């Protein structure tokens, strides 16, 4: 069985790492480069960097900051925010990213997923899907874009299947209802994606305890678990989390 992955996430605005609750009420969480270096040294399996206002502000991702982060880490590095074209991706990969994450641009032009997977390989393309549970539509979970500001009317499960069919290598699945609450990941949502799709699912939103990670990796059948504030504010440290998960029988990569 493949080892499950633990992925810290740097949500960055104006060059600083921030974190909120349900995608709002952001607070400063520290210097992105310093945090990235710390997580790499602690044994994080990968690192995700999301420039959370690039799309809304209609600008490209901060490539200078991507370069600075890439210089201090030696683990796979995913970058997202403001990506719209093949050239955008080329610049980020040249700046040190290993993978790119697309969300709003993919919803607006799904063929972008096909184009990027053919140009750079599926392993390079992560499709981020931000969802809220809905009670007034024919489906249960709805896709949101623009940093969670805009409802799309898309069924999250159907969109996930289309993303996979078009060549995305994995999905970063964020429950906006759970984000920042520390009440646990969205287990049913994640399990549904994991069981209906053939590509890896990274679960995001809601981590509050080590047990929450165990639940999403076992009951949610996630391939990886992503978290932010828990790590940023040292409520849980990655080495301790990995030892805990290993003791639960979860395949995990431990560093020496």
The catalytic residue positions are 11, 130
Closest CA to 206 of 220, 226, 236: 226
Q: Distance (Å, rounded) from C-alpha 156 to C-alpha 144?
A: 9
Q: Distance (Å, rounded) from C-alpha 99 to C-alpha 126?
A: 7
In 10 A of CB 138, how many CB atoms?
Answer: 6
75 phi and psi, to 5 degrees?
-125, 160
Please report, to the nearest 10 degrees, the dihedral formed by the alpha carbons of residues 244, 249, 250, 254 taken in order. Answer: 60
CA pseudo-torsion sign 141, 13, 180, 209 = positive
Closest CA to 117 of 131, 102, 104: 102
Closest CA to 7 of 223, 220, 215, 190: 223
């Amino acid at each position: 069985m493949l080892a499950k992955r633990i992925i810290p996430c740097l949500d960055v605005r104006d060059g600083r790492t921030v974190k909120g609750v349900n995608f709002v009420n952001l607070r400063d969480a520290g210097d992105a480069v310093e945090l990235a270096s710390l997580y790499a040294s602690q044994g994080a399996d990968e690192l995700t960097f999301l420039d959370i206002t690039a799309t809304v502000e209609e600008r490209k991702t901060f490539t200078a900051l991507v370069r600075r982060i890439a210089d201090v880490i030696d683990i796979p590095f995913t970058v997202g925010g403001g990506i719209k074209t093949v050239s955008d991706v080329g610049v980020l990969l040249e700046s040190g990213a290993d993978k790119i994450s697309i969300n709003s641009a993919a919803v607006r032009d799904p063929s972008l997923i096909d184009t990027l997977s053919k140009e750079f390989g599926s392993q390079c393309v992560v499709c981020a899907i931000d969802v809220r549970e809905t009670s007034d539509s024919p489906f249960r979970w709805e896709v949101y874009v623009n940093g969670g500001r805009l409802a799309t009317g898309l069924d999250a499960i159907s969109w996930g299947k289309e993303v996979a069919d078009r060549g995305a290598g994995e999905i970063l699945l964020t429950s906006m209802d759970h984000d920042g609450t520390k009440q646990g990941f969205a287990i049913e949502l994640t399990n549904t994606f994991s069981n209906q799709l053939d590509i890896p699912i990274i679960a995001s939103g809601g981590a509050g305890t080590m047990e929450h990670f165990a639940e999403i990796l076992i009951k949610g059948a996630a391939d990886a678990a992503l978290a932010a504030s828990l790590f940023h504010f040292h409520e849980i440290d990655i080495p301790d989390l990995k030892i805990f998960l290993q003791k639960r029988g979860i395949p995990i990569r431990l560093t020496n």
